[in-house]
Structure formats: structure tokens, C-alpha cells
Amino acid sequence: MNWYGLYTLFGKEVWRFMKVATQTILTPIITVLLYLLVFVSVLEEHVEVYDNISYTAFLISGLIMMSIIQNAFANTSSSLFQSKMMGSLVFMLLPPLSSFEFYLAFIGAAVVRGLIVGLGVWIATLWFLVLPIYNIGILFIFAILGSAILGTLGLIASIWADKWDQISGFQNFIILPLTFLSGVFYRIETLPEFWEKMSYYNPFFYMIDGFRYGFFGVSEISVTISLSIVSIFFVTLTAISLWILHIGYKIRY
């Protein structure tokens, strides 16, 4: 392992988003607060979730995870694709870094950004409600896995894309629908039968549900099943990403 090179690339990626923290950290937090203000004011008295759990608490937990995974995707997809377009990617490929080290640096930075934004959202929502914590270990595991999965998806998308429109399309037509249909704003059992069954094929649902279990100790599906599915999804995407990096698809000529 080239630890020095790995740390340097990781530090560069973290420094990149911290330099524009207003855009990369503060803006997502404010966006989530706007979601919260709108949905809570309209639906608090009309939507029932779990016994002894208010809709506000249910919604905040989902919004925290949503902010974590969306920002993890945004970090890798924007950074790597921008490097491709500007031609600076060559300076990351020339050093003696393996595909695995390259992957670890980018995904590590994506996880850091996702966790920072998620923590910021959590702190900001204390003004609305203080969430209980049932199992902090479960919270941490699902936050790490969720941000790593979306960071990997962002890496794959940025390597595949040839123009910014394709990155936007990947986010708007794949990431956002899967996120919004994952149970962030509602329990999936309240959906019509067809859409409820379809939700079980959405890996984002298991990220949200497992993360929410860490707060309340209740979930729509066994947390063991959620953890297994999320882990399998992560391993599969990691293998695909490492293979793409190894063969140099669209990044080595």
C-alpha cells in the first residue's frame, strides 16, 4: 500500500470540498431544513407512522440519511468528472497508486463529506426535535455503507459520463427517484400494493430503513436483512468500480 500517496489524494479531495463549504455543506443543510418546514407543517397531524414516534421524528431520520447519500454521490461524481474535463486527472494517474488506493481515496472523501453534512443536518434539526438514539453502532454502520455506496456510484457515473448532461441525468433520473421512493417521507406499507412490492427492489430503501432503526429500534423490515442487502450491494458496486479503474475505461488512453 502506498499510504503516503493514498493520504495525499484523500486529503486533496477533502480539501477540495472544504474550500467551498458554503456550497458543499451549508447549502444541503438549508435544503433539508426547507423540506422539514414544508412537510412537517402540512403532514404532521395527518400522517401516522410507528406507535409513540411522531412524523417529525420519522421524517428527520430519513432526511439525515438522504442528505448523507446524496452528498456522497455529488462529491465523487463532480470531482472526478471535473478532473476528466479539465485534464488534471492525468496527475492522479501518473503517481504509483493502484486502482484500490485510488478508489479508497475518493470513496473516503465522499464518506467524510456525507457524514459532515449528515451531522450538520442532525444538529440543525435539534431546533425541531431531539431524536432518541437506540443503537449508535447501527447508525454509524448504515451511514458509512450508504455514503460509500453512493460515493461508488458517483465514481462509476463520472467515469462513464462524457459530458455534464450525463452526470445530471444520472443524478436526476436514477439517484433522486430511488432516494425519494425509498421511504424517506413515508412508510412503504402505505403505498398501493404494486409500488410497495417495487420498493423492496430499491436498495436505497434498506439504507433508509436500517438507518432509521438506529434511532428508534423499529423498522419496516429486519435490520439484519437490510444490513445484508446493503453490504451485498456495496461489495458488488466496489467490484465493478475496481474493475473499471483497473482496465482504465475512459480514463486511460
Task: Round to the nearest angstrom and report the end-to-end CA distance of the chain.
Answer: 25
Lowest-pLDDT range of 44-53, 87-96, 138-147: 44-53
Q: Which residues lie below 8 Å from residue 162, measured CB to CB, with a gap of 6+?
A: 250
* pLDDT reported for residue 54: 87
How does residue 46 score in pLDDT terms, banded at 50, 70 and 90?
low
Residues 167, 161 contacting (CB under 8 angstroms): yes
User: 175-214 burial, b for 16+ CB within 10 Å, e for fewer?
Assistant: beebbebbbbbbbbeeeeeeeeeebeebbbbbbbbbbbbb
HSE (CB half, 13 Å, CA atoms) of 234?
Answer: 20
Q: Give buried/exposed letters for 149-160 (b at 16+ CB in 10 A, else e).
A: bbbbbbbbbbbe
Does the structure show a pLDDT above 90 at 243?
yes
Q: Rounded mean pLDDT of 222-247?
A: 96
pTM of the predicted model, to two decimals? 0.93
Please report, for the chain, the start and end positions of each structural domain, with discontinuous segments joined by +: 3-247
| Per-residue model confidence as pLDDT tens digits over 55-69 | 889 999 999 999 999
- Per cent of the chain over pLDDT 90 is 67
What is the average pLDDT score of the chain?
A: 91
pLDDT of 105 above 70: yes
Residue 90: CA atoms inside 13 Å, Cβ hemisphere, count? 4
Higher confidence at residue 5 or residue 45? Answer: 5
Q: What local confidence, expressed as pLDDT, does residue 253 receive?
A: 66
